[in-house]
Structure 1
Amino acid sequence: MDAPDALDASNAVDHADASDDGAPGSSSLAFASRPGRDEPEWLSLIRLEALDLSEPGSDSLSELLRRTRPDAVLHLAGLNAAGPSWADPSGYLDLNLMGTVRLLEAVRASGHPCRIVVAGSMLGGSADGPPPVKPLHPYALSKAMQAQAALGWHALYGLDVLVAIPSNLVGPGPSAGLSRLLARYAAACERTAAQAGNSAEAPPASDPSLPGRSDAADPSLPGRSDAVADLAPSAAAETQAPPPFRLSSATEARDFLDVRDAMTGYETLLERGAAGRSYAMASGRMTPLGELAELYRELAAVPLPMEIGGSTAASPEPIDASALRALGWAPRIPLRQSAQDTLEDCRAAGSA
């Protein structure tokens, strides 16, 4: 599942277009509640099934559809980090494009009426137009072609399929996006300060394995092609002062949407969306990256040292979510609450 915070951010695993925690070629449905948290009633109804959409001709998907006869499918599976796509373009095209085609064909072959919502990406452009002539990276190309294929199966075969195009998703739950990196950095700085306060010795010098050492722009964003390294600190580094968090630019802007609002958007499309069309999903507000960083500075219990780069990468064009809003959907969670919940999640998760 390419979107971890599905249904309930405290109990779901993964973000749409935010991280690719699974191995290439794999797609698994996984929900897991954290110890000590109340489990919602619906969690007992979840049955986990592992499927591989990269296997041509596999019978596992067809068998699952035959057994379950689903009324709806929310397709979030795939690879979704831009940086690694440069090294494995064929793998991204195979899973994101052909994996979607395999799903569509399996649903069509089942003969059971089923609505399918495919989660696209704003980086792939509008699904209503042709794929971008100059895609930002192979990931963007794979998502553009995925959306075209989804709508094509409606036009060619009358399949009940539509495409959701979310903006940059934020909020609690695993992610390789900038908001999560800032939250992890803030939590690491707080732990370091707490450790230093409980120690008679001054903390050692900075360790490059701590959060903030990598250039911390979201690798899935326009103008970025480098992957963000694993920023989780080792246990031995807990008392070492993190180096300044390096932000590529303070002026580049993004539309940040809480992943929980995205889930209500997917639900709205499953219930009321029109087949054969795409729906943008966004907060409607472009936020400079510097403003997001300053928000975490305000929320953190300790100072957060930062270095601001001079990237000249252009901000993406705002996307129009009026079609989805016309169906009764509207984002409810402000960015400050998303950041607060993400920071609390990182504090609770320790070095996660």
Structure 2
Amino acid sequence: MTGSVSGRALVTGASGFVGRWLIDALAADGWDVTAAAPHQPDAASLSDAGRAARWIAGDVRDLAHLTEALDVARPDAIFHLAGVTFVPAASKDPGATAEVNVVAAARLLGLVRERRAAGTLDPTVLVVGSAEQYGRHDDAELPLTEDAELRPHTVYAATKVAQETMALEAWRSAGVRVIATRSFNHSGPGQASRFLLPGLVGRARKLAAAGASAGPLLVGNQDTSRDFLHVSDVVAAYIALIARGRPGDVYNVASGVGHSVGALARVVLARFGLDVPVESDPALVRPVDVPALVGSSAKLQAHTGWAPRRSFDALLDDLIAAPPPPA
């Protein structure tokens, strides 16, 4: 169990990696779940909780889709996960990223604002942001607290700052009970291989299969450092924030521990019993990147009682044991 309340929940971006984990956690806590997604996933790909959820298929940018989702769900809580989540993809199409990450959120918040004013609906809305909003900070400032300056360096980060600004304005101007997160990196079974940890595990698995002909493990910038949580701890934090977070406030969701890409690669290789070099591949180096993102979750823990339950080693165990993820 992850929270002390339950009711009717609307999850946007429900067919994504985090959305599926969240649906399972909500169902375990007794929530009635409406899942909004671009397409309803094949039933065979869903958990029991996913199959039991009420699915609404449509484009999150479409006002009619959002209206239908709210009318069907009549939610006590909205978990707004929908968005472009991969930093390089956001940079390739800034316009589409802004439409999904900013415009869609604005339309959803506008609909909630209207219903609240009419007295027909007053949900708590969790708007999921990103550690990328912080941008570059000196190592001496780590772990970052919520008071750290926002210095977005990428299209993705800029859209998440804009999303958070709109969300908090809805609270200040209209009383919409918004809670915003700045979520640091998280992973687990089901995450696409284009993301760092499942990508490393997948490449190491191929090297292990190659045996004596195994070459180096290729990575991007080996010095880049990130803070990782197990996705199960992240969705537990989201549910805890709906139950006990403060409307109009912002919370880091983080472990407080940084891991460099080079160190991660060597740990993964060791798990597969491989003794091969780790080399940087220029094709994998992001042209715009933040050297280190490590966050403090002290505020989240103080306000909600949440604490991470899965270790980083357990996260790697789960990734290695899981079937190969989608691309």
Structures share a fold, TM > 0.5?
Answer: yes
User: Partners of 1:319 and 1:31 in 2: how far apart?
Assistant: 36
Amino acid at match of 2:130: S
User: Partners of 1:143 and 1:164 in 2: how far apart?
Assistant: 10
User: Partners of 1:127 and 1:144 in 2: how far apart?
Assistant: 13
Consecutive unaligned residues in structure 1, runs of 5 or more: 13-25, 197-240
Per the alignment, residue 324 of structure 1 pairs with 300
Conserved 8 A contact 1:11-1:34: no
User: Partners of 1:73 and 1:335 in 2: how far apart?
Assistant: 29
Cα drift, residue 109 of structure 1? 2.5
Change (3 A) 1:304 1:266: farther
Per the alignment, residue 247 of structure 2 pairs with 275
Q: Pick from 197, 200, 211: which aligns with 1:179?
A: 197
Q: Deviations over 1:276-307 (max 9, x none)?
A: 01100101111122221121112115445431
Conserved 8 A contact 1:128-1:277: no
Cα drift, residue 91 of structure 1? 1.4
**Aligned length, in residue pairs:** 283
Conserved 8 A contact 2:75-2:123: yes
The percent identity for this pair of structures is 27
Conserved 8 A contact 2:190-2:326: no
Cα drift, residue 92 of structure 1? 1.2
**Between structures 1 and 2, the one with greater strand share:** 2
Per the alignment, residue 126 of structure 2 pairs with 117
For residues 1-352 of structure 1, the aligned pairs below 5 Å read: 1=13, 3-6=16-19, 8=21, 27=38, 30=41, 34=45, 39-40=47-48, 42-55=49-62, 58-110=63-115, 111-125=120-134, 132=151, 135-175=152-192, 176-193=194-211, 243-308=215-280, 315-326=291-302, 327-345=304-322, 348-349=323-324
**Between structures 1 and 2, the one with greater helix share:** 2
Conserved 8 A contact 1:128-1:278: no
Partner SS, residue 92 of structure 2: coil
Q: Deviations over 1:298-348 (max 9, x none)?
A: 211544543146989663353221111111111111111111211222xx3
Conserved 8 A contact 2:204-2:217: no
User: Partners of 2:242 and 2:149 in 1: how far apart?
Assistant: 25
* TM-score normalised over the length of structure 1: 0.71
Change (3 A) 1:318 1:174: closer
Partner SS, residue 186 of structure 2: strand
The CA RMSD over aligned residues, in Å, is 3.1
Moved more, 336-345 or 157-166: 336-345
Conserved 8 A contact 2:164-2:180: yes
Moved more, 3-12 or 261-270: 3-12
Change (3 A) 1:67 1:330: same
Change (3 A) 1:163 1:333: same
Runs of 4+ in 1 over 6 A off after TM superposition: 9-12, 126-130, 309-313
Cα drift, residue 54 of structure 1? 2.0
